[in-house]
Amino acid sequence: MTETQTPPAAPRRHSRRAFLGGAAGVLLAAGGGTAAWALDRFVVDDVQIADVTSYAAAQDVDAGVATTTGGTMDGDTYTSDQAAVTISTVVTGSGDSTVTYFVADVVLTDATVLRSAFANDEFGTDIIDEPTDIAAAHDAVFAVNGDYYGFRDTGMVIRNGVVYRDAGAREGMAFYRDGTVRVYDETTTTAAQLVAAGVWNTLSFGPTIVEAGAVVAGIDQVEIDTNVGNHSIQGDQPRTAVGVIDTNHLVFVVVDGRSAGYSEGVTLPELAQIFVDLGVVTAYNIDGGGSSTMVFGGSLVNDPLGKGTERGTSDVLYIA
């Protein structure tokens, strides 16, 4: 990696879930109905599909889907007949103003090589696993955290051509089988219409931070999922986002944060400017904070929690 600043090493964690951290612990301490809500929201898995692999296979959507084959790893580059991935590290600033972020330049020959996977091969809410474990379960050479669909019960969830949720609520991003990627209004369509139009994967988080190659105005005022237990997406934060340079040419950026002297994180406008400087036409913000994770060659690229460890998420985007 270029300009690499190595985060501190620590043993891997394998706990399934961080038990009642932050707001959830406070809510449980309050007792009563609030405690029951917090237990259901943060602790109890709501599994709606217990075997996603079998469920997806039964949907018969494999027509035209690329078959992944082995590629070669050379340092920070992976190359196969289906994909080329190059990872680089950028460090800017100094002292407490240092920002460290990671860029994955991804060129595909077939858009269906970019896939999604759910934690524990289950679909539902509050189901999590560490991104490296999800990636390993799918032989992923590259992966980033997804939109944490399991935090909410709204939004379009189409993964690998299969519909899992049809509850349009916000601005989403759609990845098409032909390699194009578009931002769209979920409330004006249906999941069936999207699949019929060739949508392969969707993300439901936001906001869009770059349009027509320029930083979107007002993104420093946007709030996403302001329900109890969630944090504002404003301020200097760890970030994950995806940008579109051209058909079948994507850029993923993961920014570390909340770690003085290593990386303070970035605001949404600052994140958008990173993408503009990378030459993207469109960029879309996805789940960030401690969830911001990049995996390459089976190992963590970044330092999601500032401790050499990672936080469980509900899903990843990956290349096998």
| Weakest-pLDDT range from 32-46, 113-127, 289-303, 306-320 | 32-46
State the residue range of the domain holding 68: 49-319
List residues bridging with 185 in a β-sheet: 171
| Weakest-pLDDT range from 5-9, 104-108, 283-287, 301-305 | 5-9
Same domain assignment for residues 25 and 148: no
Q: Is residue 290 domain-resident?
A: yes
Q: Is residue 150 domain-resident?
A: yes
Tally of domains in the chain: 2
Bigger pLDDT: 279 vs 35? 279
Instruction: Please give the pLDDT value at position 4.
Output: 41
- Name the average pLDDT for the chain: 87
Instruction: Please give the pLDDT value at position 5.
Output: 41
Q: Is residue 4 domain-resident?
A: no
> Rounded to an integer, what distance in angstroms lies between the CA atom of residue 32 and that of residue 149?
28
Same domain assignment for residues 156 and 224: yes
Instruction: Please give the pLDDT value at position 1.
Output: 42
Question: Stretch 80-100: mean pLDDT, rounded?
Answer: 97
Instruction: Determine the straight-line distance between the first and last CA of the chain, rounded to whole angstroms.
Output: 21
Q: Is the pLDDT of residue 62 over 90?
A: no
Question: Stretch 35-56: mean pLDDT, rounded?
Answer: 73
Q: Is the pLDDT of residue 196 over 70?
A: yes
